Amino acid sequence: MTRLLLADDEEVFRASLAMRLRLRGYEVVEARDGIEAVGAVLRDDALAVIILDYKMPGMRGEQVVSAIQRCRPGARILILTAYGQEELPGAWRCLGKPCELDDLIRAIEAARAGESPPREKAD
C-alpha cells in the first residue's frame, strides 16, 4: 500500500480528499499545516509522495518544500494550489486546486514510479 502525506489547512477539503484517496487504496497521513508536514516527513521514511497545499498558515508552500528537501532530498512533492503557480523549485509538480481526483492519482503514481514530471506544452 502506498503511503502518502496530505497537508492542507482546510479541514473539510483535507478530510474529504484523504477519504477519497483511502478508498482508492492509499494510506494517507494528514497534516494541518506546514510545520506538521515537515514533522511527519522527519518521522516517517515510508511516505512515498507528499501532497501540499501551497498557502497554509505558518509556513508557505515554498518554505515547506525547502525544509522537506533539506531532510529528504529528492522527495516527490506535489503542490496543490488555487493561485496559478505553475512551478515551484523543489516540487515535483504543481496542480491546480481543485484538481480532478483521476488527475491527482495519475500524478501520484507517476511521482511514485520515479517518472520525470510532465513538461508543460508550449503554445
CB crowding 94-121: b at 16 or more within 10 Å, else e: bbebebeeeebbebbebbeeeeeeeeee
DSSP H or E segment with residue 49: strand 49-53
Q: 49-98: per-residue pLDDT in tens?
A: 999 998 888 888 889 999 999 999 889 999 998 876 667 888 999 998 88
Domain range list for the chain:
3-112
Fold of 3-112: Rossmann fold (3.40.50)
Report yes or no on whether pTM surpasses 0.75: yes
